[in-house]
Chain A
C-alpha cells in the first residue's frame, strides 16, 4: 500500500529525514515511536505534501486503488510497478490504477487518493463549522475521484453515524473547526474527520496524547472500527504503549536520527517503554 524508499528531506534547509525506508501492506497497522525531535511529525507532513518540507531524495509509492488517474492533474505512475488486477473491481466507481508516485501530487490530490493525516496539533479555522468543512472536503475528494457529491441529507447522516462512533456530540460538529476545543476534543475530532473521509491510509500523529482514560478507549475502538479492514492501513505515531493496548500494531518501528533504526513486533513497544531509547539509538 505504501512504499517509502530512502526518503530524505530538509525543513528550512535543515536535513531531517535521512534515507528512511518503510513498507506498509494493506490490512497492516504500523506504529512508529522515537525520541522527541526525531522526525516523526516531519515524516507525516512530508507524506502529506506540506509546503516547506523539501524532498531531497528517495521515492514514495502509494497503492490507493481509489483514484481515476485522468481526474487527477499531475498524477504519474511508476510504470513498471503498475499491475492490472482483473476482476478486482467490486462494481464501484473506483478503478485500480496501480502504484502512484505520491510525491508528485498536491496535498489535496493525496487526500483524494486516500491519505489522511491525524495532526499532532489540529488547526483552528474560525467561522467555519466542522460540518461545512468536512462536507466541502469530502465532496472535493469525491469530485476528484469522479464520484457524485453527497447531498446535505446524506452527509448529515454520515456525520451523525461517525460522531456517535467516537462519542462526540453533534453540537460540537456545528462549532467552528477546533475553535475553543480542548486538547482531547481536538484529537477526538480528528478521528471523527477520519471516519467521515474514510481514507485508505491514515497517519495518526500522537492521536493519543491529550486524551483522558475513557477517551483513549473510545478513540482506540474508533480507529479499529474505521481502519482495521483488509484494504486499509494505519501508521500510528505514538510515545506510549497505552494506545497500542487498544489498537494492536502488527509492526513497531523506532525512528531516530531521521531513519528507521529498529523494527519489530508488538513486543518492541513494551520493551521500549521499559528500557527507553538509549540502547536502540546508540546501536
Chain B
C-alpha cells in the first residue's frame, strides 16, 4: 500500500514540478513537491484554507529557520538530514476503508496481536469500515481523517479538533495560545514545525469541566519520505481536567524519516492535564537503517495557581529520539511531573529527559526516569531543574534508574541543577543495574521463556512509570516493552 501511495506521490510531484504556473496556484493537488521553500509553506497554508495571520506566522518562522543551524548533540550520532529530499505535505485520498481485518498486512496484525490490542481497536487502527467507536482523532498522513465522540464532548463544552479546523473555527483561541509555550524561535526543529506543520490536534477544556473521556490520538506515518510535523495545543481552563493519550504504531520503513512535532500545554488556575505517550515508531533494522528520527518539542506551561501537568511517556521506537517534555511552573504551588520509560535496543539512540523550570512560589516537581538499554544502543537521560531567584519553597525529587542488558550498550545520566533560591529542596537519586543471571534463571526455572523472563523483569523495573498510565494503555505498554527487547539476551 505504501509503495502505491509513494508512486502516486512521486507522480503528483513530478506533474507539479513541470506545471507551467507552479504549484501554488493549483491547490487541487494532494502532494506538495519534494523540497522545502517559501512556496512549500504557501502551498500548505493554501491547502488548509488558512487565514492570512496563519500564513504570515508560518512565513516568519520559515525565514527564521533559514538562519538557524541544526543542533549538534553530543550523544546522538545523526546522519545529516537532507531537507530538500523530503515531501512536506501529503494528503492522501481518505484512507481506503477495509472490509475486514483480513485485508490488513499480516505483519502489522502480528504486532497488534502481540500487543494484545482488542479486535475492535485493531479495526479502528487498521481502518475497517464501521469500526470507529472510541474518541480517536486519527492523524494519518498528516490529515485528520475523522473525529468522533465529538457530540458528547461538545455537550461538555470541550473542543477536540484537528488544529487546521481549529485555526478556522476558533481563530481567537488558537491565536492566543499558539507559540506561547514553545516560542517560534525555540529550537531548530520547533521553528521548522512552525513553518510547515501539517496537522495535529487542538483541545480546549472550559472552566470547571472535567473532560468526560480520555482523549486519544493515534499517529501513524504512512507515506514514504513524508516529514511529519504535527502540532498539538491543549488548553485547560480554570479548574478543568483532561487526560490525553497519544500512541503510535508504524509499519516497516526502509528510509529515514524525520518527525518534528511540537506539543504545547497550558494549564490555568487549578487545572490539570495528564499527557501520556506510547511511542513505537520504526527503530530501523538491527543495524539502525531506516528508522525514524524523532525530534519532538513538548512543553507545558503551568500558568495558574495550583495547576498541574504530568507527562508520562513510554518510548520504545525510533532510530533517534530527542525529546524533553518540560514544565514551566510559573503558577504559585503549581506541580510538574515527568514519568518516563525509554527503551533502546540494537542501534537505537535516545536522548530524553525533562526540564522543570520553577518560577512560581511553592512549585513542586517529580521526575522518575527509567532507561533500559540493550544491544549496542545508547540511552541518555538529560534533565534540568532550574529554580528562579524569587521562587520560594520549591521542591524537586528526581530519580533516574538505568537497566542494562548486555555489555555493549550505554546508559548516561546528565542532570543539570541550577538553583538561585536557597529555600529550595532538591533531591536526586540515580542507579544503574543489570538484569542478573540469577533473576533470569530463577524466572526461567518457574517456566518463563527467556524473552518472557526479560519482559517481566523489565516491566518490574519500569513499574513506577507504567502505573501512571491509564489502564488500557498500561497493558499495551507492558507488552510493548517485551516486544522491543526481543532478541536482546541470549
Interface residues of A (CB under 8 A from B): 45, 48-52, 106-108, 110-112, 116-117, 119, 122-128, 132-134, 136-138, 140-141, 144, 176, 193, 197
Contacts and interface: CB of A to CB of B under 8 A. Distances in A.
Contact of B459 (A116, A127, A197): A127
B450 interface: yes
A207 B346 CA distance: 41
13 contacts: A45-B441, A110-B445, A111-B444, A111-B447, A112-B447, A117-B445, A122-B442, A123-B436, A125-B442, A125-B457, A126-B460, A133-B443, A138-B447
Given A136-B456, A140-B452, A176-B460, A125 B445 contact: no
A125 B446 contact: no
Contacts of A117: 445
Interface stretch (B32-40, B120-128, B229-237, B461-469): B461-469
A116 B456 CA distance: 19
Nearest to B446: A137
Nearest to A143: B447
Given A107-B444, A111-B444, A128-B456, A123 B439 contact: yes
A141 B445 contact: no
Contacts of A132: 456
Interface in B6-28: none
Nearest to A111: B447
Contact of A128 (B441, B450, B457, B464): B457
B438 A140 contact: no
Contacts of B442: 119, 122-123, 125
B441 A48 contact: yes
B472 interface: no
B483 interface: no
Given A50-B445, A176-B460, 19 more contacts: A51-B437, A106-B444, A106-B449, A107-B441, A108-B448, A122-B442, A125-B443, A127-B460, A127-B461, A128-B456, A128-B459, A133-B456, A136-B448, A137-B446, A140-B447, A140-B448, A141-B447, A144-B447, A193-B446
B464 to A, nearest CB: 7
The bracket for how many chain B residues form the interface is 20 to 34
Instruction: Find the residue from B437, B441, B464 having the highest chain A CB count within 10 A.
Output: B441
Contacts of B456: 125, 128, 132-133, 136
B407 to A, nearest CB: 15
A163 B405 CA distance: 34
Contacts of B438: 123
A50 B436 CA distance: 13
Nearest to A121: B438
B475 to A, nearest CB: 12
Contacts of B441: 45, 48, 50-51, 107, 123
